[in-house]
Amino acid sequence: MLDLVAVAFWAMLPAYVPNNAAVLAGGGAPIDGGRTLGGRRLLGDGKTWRGTAVGTLVGVLLAQALNLLAPAVARAVGVDLPTFPLAAAVGLALGAMLGDIGASFLKRRTGRERGAAFPVVDQLDFVAGALVCTAVLDFAWFTGTFTLPVVGVVVVLTPVLHVATNGVAYVLGLKDEPY
Ligand code: CTP
Ligand code: MG
Ligand code: K
């Protein structure tokens, strides 16, 4: 069980960090360019080119760092940890950002203003995006790493981590809402 948690956390790190990097880097031009659909913003001012680009880059670079650390960390925790081919790293990082963007699209369509909470979707949008994108870009790595038990742990573990990290970011004044 601890092995599963270690692999799930490690494999998802390049998908966890981009959204937090985007919070720090966000600002500038919104992706939707101010466009609206049915009287509401397509995505809103919270989804910017800069936040998306920096978030993706940080996730991909983190994966490279994890590749270097993998042998030492694996030895220390006694668990076989995966390394990230570039396609998988891009899938995890870009997919996380796209999942979050997709959720904003759904939020606007359901009348939720920027920053509004969308329970469950807020906690799992980037997981769905990361898994789908990684499966598309490197299917062999995806199926070898994200076995059904690992995916199960990811789905349970991620909301817990998400609530905790966003709570901390909120208390530190880095984020406007604690979700
Ligand atoms: N951010 C960004 N680009 C992204 C994602 C996030 O610039 N692709 C930045 C924005 O400054 C955003 C902040 O990170 O306001 C917090 O992200 P998030 O909570 O996802 O956005 P919200 O502002 O809450 O907007 P939404 O309701 O659309 O989720
Ligand atoms: Mg938000
Ligand atoms: K979000």
Mean pLDDT of 36-41: 95
Query: Counting runs of H as helices and runs of E as strands, what totals does the chain give?
Result: 6, 2
Q: Which residues contact 145 (CB under 8 A, 6 or more apart)?
A: 7, 11, 82, 88
Instruction: Tell me whether residue 177 is in a domain.
Output: no
Q: What is the pLDDT of residue 10?
A: 98
Q: What is the pLDDT of residue 179?
A: 83
Q: What is the pLDDT of residue 90?
A: 98
Locate 60 and state its tokens: 């991909």
Is residue 74 in some structural domain?
yes
* Any domain includes 161: yes
Q: Report the distance separating Cα 3 and Cα 78, nearest Å.
A: 8
Average pLDDT over the chain, rounded to an integer: 96
Pocket around ligand 1 at a 6 A CB cut-off? 22-23, 26, 44, 46-48, 51-52, 97, 100-101, 104, 107, 114-116
User: Which regions of the chain does DSSP assign to beta strands (E)?
Assistant: 36-37, 40-41
CA of 40 to the centre of ligand 1 (A): 16
Convert the pLDDT of each residue in 105-136 to its tens digit: 999 999 999 999 999 999 999 999 999 999 99
* pLDDT over 90 at 42, yes or no: yes
The confidence score (pLDDT) of residue 177 equals 86
Per the structure, the count of domains in the chain is 1
Question: Is 178 inside any structural domain?
Answer: no
Which residues are found with C-beta within 5 Å of the ion, ligand 3? 100
Domain that holds residue 80: 2-171
Share of the chain above pLDDT 70, in %: 100
Residue 19: inside a domain, yes or no? yes
